[in-house]
Amino acid sequence: QVQLVESGGGVVQPGGSLRLSCAAAGFTLSGYGMHWVRQAPGKGLEWVAFIRNDGNKNYYADSVKGRFTISRDNSRNTLYLQMSSLSTDDTAVYYCAKDFGQATGHFDYWGQGTLVTVSS
Amino acid sequence: EIVLTQSPATLSLSPGQRATLSCRASQSIRSYLAWYQQKPGQAPRLLIYDASNRASGIPARFSGSGSATDFTLTISSLEPEDFAVYYCQQRSNWPPITFGQGTRLEI
């Protein structure tokens, strides 16, 4: 069965950096686009970033463009999100989510999430 | 950016009743709309994709309809486990992908 397991969350100071990982199992990662979606405490869902199955196309939300970088290592079945210049507005649970296909824009499986807290 | 507006914000019903949740898009998104269910402390779960297609393993009491700008998620007879927050999400002409603000379905 499909499993997505995020890690790397924690507490970081404003202006700091953090790298999240998402380990994928139960499907061939190289066949699917992947996304990061976040949810601030008590708030709704916000799409953050996408990477195509081959890693050659990325998209970002305006709120993170220039600060976050999505990447993947299909040989390690792992998705990443490098976050820098973090602010308190980036405090959220970060979910990795599998695209329905290579780039459909719907999410058929989600990880359990990892909490990022930006605080001094 | 396409804005999705969900209504009502909160829906109070009882088990066995029918639930009707709405999602309106700021411009036509054809049928490129999905619905997700989220329970406290859990990740969202895909219920419906492309407006009316049930995802794998989703009970038949969940159905979706609509096109262009107006969409509906219907739960025909509420079970206790259906009380949760529901989000709509569009994938028309993305990026960006956007979500509605959610409807809380409560007892």
Which H, E and C letters describe A36-105, residue by residue? EEEECCCCCEEEEEEECCCCCCEEECCCCCCCEEEEEEHHHCEEEEEECCCCHHHCEEEEEEEECCCCCC
Burial of residue B56, with CB atoms counted within 10 A of its CB: 0-12 exposed, 13-18 middle, 19 or more buried: exposed
CA distance A81 to chain B (A): 17
Question: Facing residues of B20 across strands?
Answer: B74
Which chain B residue lies closest to A96 (C-alpha atoms)? B43
B5-57 per-position pLDDT tens digit: 999 999 999 999 999 999 999 999 999 999 999 999 999 999 999 999 999 99
Q: Is B55 in contact with A46 (Cβ distance < 8 A)?
A: no
Q: What's the rounded Cα separation, in Å, for the pair A89 and A59?
A: 20
Indicate the SS3 state at residue B102: coil
β-bridge partners, A3: A25
Reference B100, options B63, B62, B65, B73; nearest CA is B73
pLDDT digit string, tens, across residues A47-75:
999 999 999 999 999 999 999 999 999 99
Residues of A with CB under 8 A from a CB of B: 35, 44-47, 50, 59-62, 95, 100, 104-113
Read off the pLDDT of each residue in A85-95 and give the average, rounded to a whole number.
98
Interface touch A100/B49, C-beta < 8 Å: yes
Chain-chain contact of B95 with A112 (C-beta, under 8 angstroms): no
Residue B93 pLDDT grade (very low, low, confident, very high; cuts 50, 70, 90): confident
